[in-house]
Amino acid sequence: MTMTRRDLISGGGKLLLLASAAATWAELTGAEPAGDAYRVADHWWGMLVDIDKCIGCGNCVRGCSNENHVPAGFFRTWVERYEISVDSPTTAQPHVESPEGAINGFPPSTNENVKSFFVPKLCNHCADSPCVQVCPVGATFVSPDGVVLVDQNYCLGCRYCIQACPYGTRFINPETQTADKCTLCYHRITKGLTTACCENCPTGARQLVDFKNPKDPIHAILRESKVQVLKPYMATGAKVYYKSLDGAVR
- Domain spans, the chain: 43-250
- Cα–Cα distance measured from residue 184 to residue 195, given in angstroms and rounded to the nearest whole number: 6
Q: pTM of the entire structure?
A: 0.84
- Cα–Cα distance measured from residue 166 to residue 244, given in angstroms and rounded to the nearest whole number: 21
Q: Which residues on neighbouring strands pair with residue 80, listed in sequence order?
A: 119
What CATH code would you report for 43-250?
Answer: 3.30.70.20
115-169: per-residue pLDDT in tens?
999 999 999 999 999 999 999 999 999 999 999 999 999 999 999 999 999 999 9
- Cα–Cα distance measured from residue 8 to residue 2, given in angstroms and rounded to the nearest whole number: 11
25-73: per-residue pLDDT in tens?
343 333 344 446 899 999 999 999 999 999 999 999 999 999 999 999 9
Confidence of residue 87 (pLDDT cuts 50, 70, 90): confident
For 141, list phi and psi in degrees, rounded to 5: -150, 165
Confidence of residue 3 (pLDDT cuts 50, 70, 90): low
Q: Mind giving me the DSSP string for 129-145?
A: -HHHHH-TTS-EEE-TT
**SS3 assignment, position 100:** helix
Q: What secondary structure letter does DSSP report for 52? A: G
**For position 11, what pLDDT does the model report?**
52
How large is the greatest C-alpha to C-alpha distance in the chain, in angstroms? Answer: 66
